[in-house]
Structure 1
Amino acid sequence: MNHEPGFSARGLSRRSALRLAGTGGLVTAGGAMLGTVPAQPAAAAPAAAAAAAIGNLTTPPTYAPSGRRPRHRRATWSQQFQSGHGWSAAGTGTSSADANDTSVFVRGTQSVRVTTAGTGKQSYVRRLGGLATNLTGKAIRLVFRVEDTTDLSKLSFYLGSSSLANYFLWQFHTHSTTSTNYVQSGEWVTVHLQWADVTSAFGTYSISSAGVPSTTTGFTDMSFAVYDNAGGPVTYHLQAVELIPDTASVFPKGVVSITFDDSHTSVHSLARPVMDAYGFSGTVYNIADAIGAGDYLTLDQMHSLQDFSGWEMAGHSYATSAHTASYSKLTAQQVDNDLRTLREWLVSHGFTSEHFAYPHGAFEKTTDGVPVDQIASRHFTTARSIISETIESFAPAMPYRLKALTGITDASGIGGTAVANLTAAGGRLDRCVNNGDWLILCLHRVVDGTPTASTQIGRTGLETLMKAISNRGIPVVTVAEAMAYYT
């Protein structure tokens, strides 16, 4: 295809962008931090590996992220599992535990280490009978690590009273053998649990038909639970359980971002008129190589969306072939080249977004072992996935693993997420407006008639969705606008 004259001379062609060989691997050592973190010999190896792997990428970013990442949300209550923490590690699914493990940690000088029994039974780190805690307007922040996720089944969190006779349950991660997982082996992971994400209630606690919990205060018990798949043991470390202000502290009715992947021309011809009627702006994650070809947006359409309707033109990949393959099927150098060229293309054509969505939502390691999200952080300020076990918070727990609900459609029998389920009582829109969260919706192609794939939504279905958002008074912002509130 033809490129416009404004394309940067420093940008690589599609062939050269995907030609270079890659470099070695790394294990990330991320996770939120509070205050000063002392020297950590046990964590130094992964950190050094990360620095070495990223440092081996041959060309520095032409346009590095501006640094407008979300400020760290200070905890109003924090358990960091240092000496004397008073929590117990047990459960029928526990084989061994060290409540004061000094070998692996990311805060202070220790964490809790537990190894499951490989039986599929519950293993937990728990505190019962603590001081009554008020979680009104609060979210729970967890910082933890699973050494090898091969035999991981699921992760849950219990919040309750009366020795957990009453509790709310968040089942916040179910490990997949086929899809990209939020929790990756050997990484410190941060998760935010919001009231909008409560899975179920037990005892005297309940959740209303609109998804509202019966109480948000008086909690004395907390339990972090891990289940293996009965195929083998799993070793995990718990570093922090904390309370932070939730999304409702900034957006009392929650907030929605409407995003479109792949640059389909129907975004301009069908989605824009519907959203213009409500004053809503969206974020388009673009494949630069496709612009102006076939059924894809043109540069003029992109500029019209941006300049006259306030849309954000973000990045999805430079090369169509890279998008088709998925970054996890490329080397680290190939991924870095594609991201660099994409960012150059966006800037050279007047699109200033620093936000990105992974092709196919995949951010696991490249073929030579480098986590894709670490490479993305060299070029963009956030990167969006299509993981939706819990809905995203504001500010996000991990900006390079933004969660989004995808496959939204108004047809039946084709899979995906039904518009009717989103708009129904107690659905995601009700939970958003009543409890607060950052609901990122991922759509692809809009069609005039009946959708035939889960990546399609009918114009009628899109109208129904926009009306439901508007009727609830939920603000709609682009991803860039959402991030600007906390940077």
Structure 2
Amino acid sequence: MGKRRANAHGRAAASDRPVVSRRAALLMGGAGGVAMAGGGAWLGNVAAQSVTGPQAAAEGAIGGLTTPPPYAPSGRRPKNRRATWSQQFQDSHGWKAGGAGTASAEVNDKTQFVRGTQSVRVTTNGTGKQSYVRKTGMAEVNATGKMIRLLFRVDDVSNLAKMVFYLGSGGLTNYFVWNFHVHSKTAANYVQSGEWVTVHLQWADVSGAAGAYSISAAGKPSTTAGFTDMSFAVYDDAGGQVTYRLQAVELIPDTTDVFPKGVVSITFDDSHKSIHDLARPIMDSFGFPGTLYNIADAIGTGSFLTVDQMRSMQNFSGWEMAGHSYANAVHTASYPKLTAEEADEDFRKLREWLVSNGFTSEHFAYPHGAFQKTKDGVPVDLIASRHFTTARTIISETIESFAPAHPYRLKSLTGITDGKGIGGTALSRLTEEGGKLDRCAESGDWLILCLHKIVEGTPKTSTEIGTAGLTKLMQELQDRDIPVVTVEEAMAYYK
């Protein structure tokens, strides 16, 4: 498909293209293929987006790396989930741009698009007020057992504040709302400049309700059908304008299609020995496996796991031994502090170390959740895609879906602790009525939890959870009958 598209636009066939340098190839698309991401092509992180329209997808698929990794990912990425309802913003779509925060708009914009021949373009006015693309009075839409898939682009996120989606009726006098992206000036952001981004919104993530709609104490919406109105809203930070483009609003089967009560993956970072000594026995008693993201350089030193302990957890308790970094120094610095060559080399050595020690996982977690560009401008998540099938972040503005919208930016809830006054994510946020576990069980999602150290007494930092707190978490999962699977097992459903 990619070759036919390239030829149709007058580009040379793949066999006619010159061999590109390692650096240029990284900039042009890394893994040599467009990963199918939860119902649409994964188009994010094409660093050189000088082309527009459907050509952008073809350019994003260019490979040609001169030194292919010895252990490339097997390609067990999410399948394309077909939309049951779709608005792709082609001619006569009938949606309107407006709001007190809008400066200008073109609802039939033919300069930037990745489907069909056009998208909607809107520029905010720099006042911090709402700008939107919306349609009311549509034929009724049934969203039962569905999640909303959004495909959009923000040209420059420097002045982006937040993004919101409304689903309602009665001219939006009744609505549910998802606050799906709040932009950070310091942390890694799911939405980055110049990328076409896919986001999934599930009922487990609904933020609020108004009018005739409500959300129960357990997080269950009062209705999931009869919707006639939709609105995609963007706010700038009142410091400057933001130009955004909307390509698609769709409904696809949600996580409950595979897991009626949702699903949880319990992941641990950094290879701490306490994961083997304290977490494993607790989880063994419930029959729950975990995914452990490892720093190869640390194994067998100080307070870290040994290879034999890792093998025991994998072979006898069903744990997954995944990757976090090869060098401890790289973990401390994080990949955006490296050049593309340095990052790629650490990924290569990490994967080789895992395979040579009998660990077959193709999954990875970014140190500090950082997947931004390297020092020389190459997106780290593109480099990760050369070596691993998924890469986990610590972004949690919405919970991950099944299949994920972006397999190299898996969302997770981190800093879970039963300590007091030490920051992080209070365990009660998961276990209380209407918390993350109730929402997972009631409405479905893929809740990925990120833990670090386990302690026998009272946690002193946000990266610690006590054995009592971990036991309570496991008991709450069991009581709700939520399946617990490793990341590898989750992805296996989409071979």
TM-score (norm 2): 0.90
For the residue of structure 2 that corresponds to 1:42, the secondary structure is: coil
Aligned to 2:200: 192
Does 2:350 match 1:342? Answer: yes
Aligned to 1:377: 385
Change in CA separation of 1:249 and 1:269 when aligned onto 2, cut-off 3 Å: same
CA contact (8 A) 2:54 2:114 kept: no
**Partner Cα distance (2:449, 2:61) in 1:** 33
Instruction: Choose from 330, 355, 362 the match for 1:322.
Output: 330
For the residue of structure 2 that corresponds to 1:176, the secondary structure is: coil
Change in CA separation of 1:362 and 1:41 when aligned onto 2, cut-off 3 Å: closer
Cα shift readout 1:294-329 (whole Å, capped 9, x = no counterpart): 000100000000000000000000011111101011
Shift of 1:421: 1.8
Please show how residues 251-262 of structure 1 align to structure 2 within 5 Å.
Answer: 251-262=259-270
Aligned to 1:171: 179
CA contact (8 A) 2:53 2:115 kept: no
Where does the alignment leave 5 or more consecutive residues of structure 2 unmatched? 1-21, 44-49
The residue identity in structure 1 corresponding to 2:450 is C
Instruction: Choose from 225, 231, 237 the match for 2:233.
Output: 225
Aligned to 2:439: 431
For the residue of structure 2 that corresponds to 1:394, the secondary structure is: coil
Instruction: Choose from 458, 464, 478 the match for 1:450.
Output: 458
CA contact (8 A) 2:170 2:228 kept: yes
Does 2:87 match 1:79? Answer: yes
CA contact (8 A) 1:259 1:442 kept: yes
Does 2:301 match 1:296? Answer: no
For the residue of structure 2 that corresponds to 1:393, the secondary structure is: coil
For these two proteins, the number of residue pairs brought into alignment is 462
Change in CA separation of 1:316 and 1:71 when aligned onto 2, cut-off 3 Å: same
Shift of 1:30: 8.3
CA contact (8 A) 1:153 1:228 kept: yes
Shift of 1:178: 1.0
**Partner Cα distance (1:327, 1:45) in 2:** 29
Instruction: Choose from 104, 107, 118 the match for 1:99.
Output: 107
Shift of 1:379: 0.4
RMSD: 2.0
Instruction: Choose from 115, 119, 123 the match for 1:115.
Output: 123
Aligned to 1:352: 360
Please show how residues 38-53 of structure 1 align to structure 2 within 5 Å.
Answer: 42-43=52-53
**Partner Cα distance (2:324, 2:208) in 1:** 35
Shift of 1:41: 5.0
The residue identity in structure 2 corresponding to 1:83 is D
Aligned to 1:473: 481
For the residue of structure 1 that corresponds to 2:226, the secondary structure is: strand
CA contact (8 A) 1:253 1:473 kept: yes
Cα shift readout 1:225-256 (whole Å, capped 9, x = no counterpart): 00000110000010000000000010000000
**Partner Cα distance (1:30, 1:42) in 2:** 19
**Partner Cα distance (2:174, 2:245) in 1:** 26
Where does the alignment leave 5 or more consecutive residues of structure 1 unmatched? 1-20
**Partner Cα distance (2:225, 2:61) in 1:** 43
The residue identity in structure 2 corresponding to 1:72 is N
Please show how residues 118-157 of structure 1 align to structure 2 within 5 Å.
Answer: 118-157=126-165
Aligned to 2:243: 235
**Partner Cα distance (1:186, 1:455) in 2:** 34
**Partner Cα distance (1:161, 1:51) in 2:** 40
Cα shift readout 1:355-404 (whole Å, capped 9, x = no counterpart): 00001101111111111111100000000000000000000000000000
Aligned to 2:409: 401
For the residue of structure 2 that corresponds to 1:415, the secondary structure is: coil
CA contact (8 A) 1:25 1:369 kept: no
Aligned to 1:367: 375
The residue identity in structure 1 corresponding to 2:492 is A
Change in CA separation of 1:140 and 1:256 when aligned onto 2, cut-off 3 Å: same
Shift of 1:59: 2.1
Aligned to 1:10: none
**Partner Cα distance (1:386, 1:22) in 2:** 28
**Partner Cα distance (2:261, 2:58) in 1:** 42
Identity fraction in percent: 70
Instruction: Choose from 361, 386, 395 the match for 2:394.
Output: 386
Does 2:216 match 1:208? Answer: yes
**Partner Cα distance (1:294, 1:477) in 2:** 30
The residue identity in structure 2 corresponding to 1:408 is I
**Partner Cα distance (1:27, 1:189) in 2:** 17
For the residue of structure 1 that corresponds to 2:372, the secondary structure is: coil
Does 2:427 match 1:419? Answer: yes
For the residue of structure 2 that corresponds to 1:399, the secondary structure is: coil
**Partner Cα distance (1:300, 1:126) in 2:** 57
CA contact (8 A) 1:261 1:285 kept: yes
**Partner Cα distance (1:232, 1:401) in 2:** 28
For the residue of structure 2 that corresponds to 1:480, the secondary structure is: helix
**Partner Cα distance (1:454, 1:262) in 2:** 14
Change in CA separation of 1:486 and 1:189 when aligned onto 2, cut-off 3 Å: same
**Partner Cα distance (2:35, 2:278) in 1:** 41
Change in CA separation of 1:132 and 1:117 when aligned onto 2, cut-off 3 Å: same
**Partner Cα distance (1:201, 1:180) in 2:** 29
**Partner Cα distance (2:444, 2:487) in 1:** 17
CA contact (8 A) 1:27 1:187 kept: no
CA contact (8 A) 1:404 1:442 kept: yes
For the residue of structure 2 that corresponds to 1:157, the secondary structure is: strand
CA contact (8 A) 2:54 2:115 kept: no
**Partner Cα distance (1:49, 1:365) in 2:** 18
CA contact (8 A) 1:65 1:379 kept: yes
Shift of 1:122: 0.5
Q: Which of the pair has the greater relative contact order for Cα pairs under 8 Å at 6+ separation?
A: 1
Shift of 1:420: 1.5
Change in CA separation of 1:23 and 1:107 when aligned onto 2, cut-off 3 Å: closer
CA contact (8 A) 1:27 1:46 kept: no
For the residue of structure 1 that corresponds to 2:351, the secondary structure is: helix
**Partner Cα distance (2:445, 2:217) in 1:** 18
Shift of 1:24: 8.6
Cα shift readout 1:15-72 (whole Å, capped 9, x = no counterpart): xxxxxx966974879886769x9xx9514786687567x64x5521110010111101
**Partner Cα distance (1:286, 1:373) in 2:** 18
**Partner Cα distance (1:302, 1:58) in 2:** 34
Aligned to 1:13: none
**Partner Cα distance (1:48, 1:383) in 2:** 23
**Partner Cα distance (2:136, 2:35) in 1:** 29
**Partner Cα distance (1:374, 1:180) in 2:** 15
